[in-house]
Amino acid sequence: MEQSTRRVTIADVAEKAGVSKTAVSFAFNSPDRLNTATASRILDIAQELGYRPDPVARMLTQRRTGAIGVLTPQDLSVIFTNPFFGTFSAGIAGVAEEHGYGLHFISPLHGSLSRAINRATVDGVVAIGLTDDHPEIDEVRRAGLPMVLVDSNTSGEVASVDVDDEGGARLAARHLLELGHRDIAILAIDGPRSAGPAEGGVVWRRLRGYRSTLAEAGIELPAGEIATGPASIDGGRDAFGRLWASGRRPTAVLAMSDGMAIGAIQAIHERGWTVPGDVSVVGFDDVDLAASTDPPLTTVHQPVRGKGETAVRMLLSVIEGRNAAPGHQRLETRLVVRSSTGPAPASRREVAAGKPKSA
């Protein structure tokens, strides 16, 4: 006959240790309220008996879940196709683990981000790619949860972290101009890091950087020179494919993410053209994969992992009561030149300048 097993309770530990149930609770939740020898003996006995505190009861006692939410506006199956997001999440996870917190990814549940937020049991939220007036951000506010926005517009009402997107975009555009390019197309993010159409979001800042730099060189960028897509390899491949199908043959591409840039390189190769011989490509992020593409990708470096680390440190300072006031941190960007960019092809440069193409 199979013998039933009974779950070890806090009362069992208390009885064997000769202490109260309160003392056992202190040993797990507030060991500083016991002398070191007593707390250590209780924990040893608990391990010997195989006792584990009930996580729900512990959460209610401490009024903490021990988890940080990472709020994203797209399904995880989509957002993890963006190389940026894995590195960014690693930055969050590293700092969270150091402080004893786990991660809870909050993405749309059956198509509803609001439903997912309402079911999430977390101590605070890092939200990426959502404007501070987004309905789901209001849901987090109503829940009374501490929050940090990443890659958003910044009104100052919510703690936030971003990078110098406009400055980085200017560096990328200037680099292509210095190489003689005048026929330049843009692959713009239309997805989890776009921060919506609102003024001040990631796409808005990067577009302003590209456009203003090109305008200073006398180059206006019509809407037909911009293709949009998710910040992923497939998104970049598809966006470049639409430019090609429209008859566009740019000498250079400014991509708003490394994923899109890598996809564009693949699309260019698939059409029998070369990078950078026929088309130069510049990305934005400098994820680990950028240095090992074929050819290695010229890109705007942003501290992707550091952005995640900064966001979660800001959040923990609020959760743990060290800082109740919202703040904003803007991190620096810089250009990393590799082999995916080169001088504009001479014949196409002459055509762009109004000179006849040589025979």
- Asked if residue 3 belongs to a domain, the reply is no
- Asked if residue 88 belongs to a domain, the reply is yes
91 and 72 in a single domain? The answer is yes
> What is the total residue count of the chain?
359
Nearest to 241 by CA among 257, 258, 232, 229: 229
pLDDT tens figures, 177-216: 999 999 999 999 985 455 444 567 899 999 999 999 999 9
- Asked if residue 358 belongs to a domain, the reply is no
Q: What is the pLDDT of residue 357?
A: 39
CB 248 within 8 A of CB 277: no
CB 222 within 8 A of CB 197: no
At 347, the pLDDT band (50, 70, 90 cuts) reads low
180 and 327 in a single domain? The answer is no
93 and 188 in a single domain? The answer is no
Number of domains in the chain: 3
111 and 256 in a single domain? The answer is no
181 and 293 in a single domain? The answer is yes
Helices (H) and strands (E) in the chain, counts: 14, 12
pTM: 0.78
CB 225 within 8 A of CB 184: yes
The helix-helix angle for 36-49 and 10-17 (nearest 10°) equals 120
CA distance 121 to 61: 15
131 and 21 in a single domain? The answer is no
* Residue 44 pLDDT exceeds 50: yes
Q: Chain-wide mean pLDDT for the chain?
A: 85
CATH of residue 30: 1.10.260.40
- Asked if residue 55 belongs to a domain, the reply is yes
202 and 348 in a single domain? The answer is yes
Residues of the domain holding 93: 67-162+305-331
CA distance 227 to 185: 8
- Asked if residue 359 belongs to a domain, the reply is no
CATH of residue 130: 3.40.50.2300
289 and 211 in a single domain? The answer is yes
- 224 or 248, higher pLDDT: 248
